Amino acid sequence: MHFVETFRELQDEAAEWRRYLHQNPELGYGVHNTASFVAEKLASFGINHIETGIAETGIVALIHGEGGDGPAIGLRADMDALPVREASNKPWSSQTLGRMHACGHDGHTAMLLGAAKYLAKTRNFKGSVALIFQPAEEDGLGGQRMVEEGIMDRFEIGQVFGMHNAPGLEVGKFAICDGPAAAALDEFDIVVKGRGGHAASPHLTIDPVVIGAQIIVGLQTLISRGTDPLESLVVSVTKLEAGTAYNIIPEYVQISGTVRSLKSELRDYAERQIRKCAEGIAQGYGAEIEFKHRRLEPSMVNHKEATHMAIKAACRLVGSESVNDKKRPSMGAEDFAYMLQARPGSYINLGNGQTAALHNPAYDFNDEALPYGIGYWVTLVETALPV
Ligand SMILES: [Zn+2]
Ligand SMILES: [Zn+2]
């Protein structure tokens, strides 16, 4: 059993790494300096199995336990920053104008490095740990690419775990939920094709503006009248394009929007019903539609057994009163979803205290959270792969 005090010894060193990374933020797949820093540190801890250049700049490193053979457990951190102009006023502020670690991936990287240092020294587990450092979490689907490049098979990863800091949650507290934890993200375009003409002679046209308006109103009932009120689904119309002049009824109208869902049945339902609703309304008025629906990211689903393991580890570290195991899912998207599609696992939130929100220019990762994150990773490994 561990107490967080064990990991406080690593806090100063991890804070130094974290602040160095914070001063030197890089974007997307271009995290070259960050990746070299990570690889150098890993080597200095005596880890000799380090593979770089996965998904361009991603890294996987293996630490073998001294407790004998067994499966590998994957621990994932993200390394990329955001195109945000920093306003945190911290002495370790970004040295590159217009770029900053506004999502705390500097902290995630430092915590996984801290855990790597500890685990490489103690090796008090069975099997091995695969440390996954991924690029391009924010918009490039780096997690998906690492999975496509075969890391799960190559490193024989049986289960995979992720962690993200959470502003607003007290330092030293954790939050997690079983099942869907972040939403799937889709986009749609509906083109309503009518017949254009003079605005003074509407009877000679098929007016796509009026039909488009009916479709937008129709879409509002897909959820309120069509799905279980206790389930989560969002359909938002966010773009509308129509017409060029006061006296012309246009040929077409384009309606675009986004769909967020937690369950695949609802994702399928939304795609099917948006099309059906638009087609039905358009046909009633003699118009036609063209429909495009793009599935961008899957929902992130925590697996039951792995989530129990994560809760057990967090409770060992901080006590059950500091672990909320019924966290509400987020309707945002997270590309760790692809790793959880490839292997069972779970994603946990770590308290960052009362700081500015994620992606806000005043945000900064809270270094007080470092020993908790490092302690969680180590405890998770020793709980999931006991000697
Ligand atoms: Zn982010
Ligand atoms: Zn993030």
CA of 78 to the centre of ligand 2 (A): 7
Query: Does pLDDT of 77 surpass 60?
Result: yes
Please state the rounded mean pLDDT for residues 275-290.
98
% helix / strand / coil in the chain, to the nearest 5? 35, 25, 35
pLDDT of residue 3: 76
Q: Which residues surround ligand 1, an ion (CB under 5 A)?
A: 103
CA of 207 to the centre of ligand 1 (A): 42
CA of 321 to the centre of ligand 2 (A): 26
pLDDT of residue 2: 58
Query: Does pLDDT of 1 surpass 60?
Result: no
CA angle 115, 57, 34 (to 5 degrees): 55
Ligand closest to CA 82: 1
Averaged confidence pLDDT in the chain: 96
With a pLDDT cut of 90, the percent of the chain lying above it is 96
Q: Which residues contact 112 (CB under 8 A, 6 or more apart)?
A: 75, 76, 77, 131, 133, 377
CA of 138 to the centre of ligand 2 (A): 7
pLDDT of residue 296: 92
Q: Is the CB of residue 4 less than 8 Å from the CB of residue 10?
A: no
What tens digit of pLDDT does each residue of 237-253 get? Answer: 999 999 999 999 999 99
Query: Does pLDDT of 108 surpass 70?
Result: yes
CA of 223 to the centre of ligand 2 (A): 29
Q: Which residues contact 143 (CB under 8 A, 6 or more apart)?
A: 76, 78, 134, 137, 335, 336, 337, 338, 339
CA of 168 to the centre of ligand 2 (A): 15
CA of 103 to the centre of ligand 2 (A): 5
Ligand closest to CA 100: 1
Please state the rounded mean pLDDT for residues 104-116.
98
Ligand closest to CA 107: 2
Q: Which residues surround ligand 2, an ion (CB under 5 A)?
A: 103
CA of 105 to the centre of ligand 2 (A): 6
Residue 209's CB is within 10 A of a number of other CB atoms, namely 17
Please state the rounded mean pLDDT for residues 251-262.
96
CA of 62 to the centre of ligand 1 (A): 26
CA of 386 to the centre of ligand 2 (A): 30
Question: Residue 94 — very low, low, confident or very high, per pLDDT cuts 50/70/90?
Answer: very high
CA of 102 to the centre of ligand 1 (A): 7
Helix, strand, or coil (residue 253): strand
CA of 59 to the centre of ligand 2 (A): 18
Ligand closest to CA 165: 2
CA of 109 to the centre of ligand 2 (A): 11
CA of 79 to the centre of ligand 2 (A): 9
CA of 272 to the centre of ligand 1 (A): 30
Ligand closest to CA 143: 2
Q: What are the tokens at 11?
A: 């806090």
Please state the rounded mean pLDDT for residues 4-25.
95
Distance between CA 101 and CA 147 in Å, rounded?
24
pLDDT of residue 4: 86
Please state the rounded mean pLDDT for residues 243-268.
96
CA of 265 to the centre of ligand 2 (A): 27
What tens digit of pLDDT does each residue of 303-325 get? Answer: 999 999 999 999 999 999 999 99
With a pLDDT cut of 70, the percent of the chain lying above it is 99
Question: Residue 5 — very low, low, confident or very high, per pLDDT cuts 50/70/90?
Answer: confident
Question: Residue 128 — very low, low, confident or very high, per pLDDT cuts 50/70/90?
Answer: very high
